[in-house]
Every structure is written in structure tokens, then in C-alpha cells.
Amino acid sequence: MDRDLGDISARLFELKNKKTQLNNELSVLNAEIKETEIIVLALMQEQDLLKVSNSSGTIYLSRQVVPKVINWDEFYKYIRDNNYFHMLERRPSRGAFKESYELGEQIPGVDPVLFDEVRTRKT
């Protein structure tokens, strides 16, 4: 099978354009969903309902709790003092690591993984 880089490149841009169009449509749909969820939430809270069902399905309220750090120094001290490192997500910052790597720093316990990525730029 002959592979012409010009044809394949054109196809890549065609696919990326289609993806952009679909993402734009998805953004509009997601905004409409969010607006509708806000209305449903308000109505359910107004009527003191935790669950409502119809022929399409069931909508229910689910209380979630998430952390909002207001003082990072205190939070990190608490983690260190109590050895609660499980409270942190195990993912180093790519940007900070890249910066250190480019300065020649070796970070203990971390290996750099190099890979090539196909990037595009419209003209």
C-alpha cells in the first residue's frame, strides 16, 4: 500500500477539523445539560426531593464532598506530621519536572520518559 505523506497529512487536518466541529457541538450540548441540571437541582431542593422518576429514567441528588485547600502550608505540614501522603494524588507535575530535567537536574525516584508526538499547525 502506497502511503503519500501529503495525502495523509491532508486527511489528518480533515479529521482534526471534524473533531473541532464535534467538540464545538459538544460544548454547546454540555452547557445546555449544565443549565438544565441547575434548574432540576433548584426544583428538587425547592420541593425537598432526593429522587424523581419518569418513563425516561431516574434523577437523584447525591451529596459529594471535595477538598478546598485554603492554606497549602498548613495542609502540607499536616500531611508531613501525620505521614498522610495518601491525601495527595500520585502524579508529579509535568511542567515542573520538564523544567528541572531541562536544567540537568536528576530527581530521585523518577525516570524521564521521552516520546515523540505528532503536532499540527494550521496555515
pLDDT tens-digit profile of 42-81?
999 999 999 999 999 999 999 999 999 999 999 999 999 9
Enter the C-alpha cell of residue 105: 537536574
Give residue 2's pLDDT. Answer: 66
Mean local confidence (pLDDT), 108-120: 90
- Residue 26 clears pLDDT 80, i.e. is over it: yes
Enter the C-alpha cell of residue 31: 452547557
> pLDDT band for position 123 (50/70/90)?
confident
User: How far apart (Å, rounded) are the C-alpha atoms in residues 112 and 10?
Assistant: 33
Closest-CA residue to 122 (of 5, 8, 10):
10
- Residue 22 clears pLDDT 80, i.e. is over it: yes
Q: Model pTM?
A: 0.68
User: How far apart (Å, rounded) are the C-alpha atoms in residues 115 and 111?
Assistant: 13
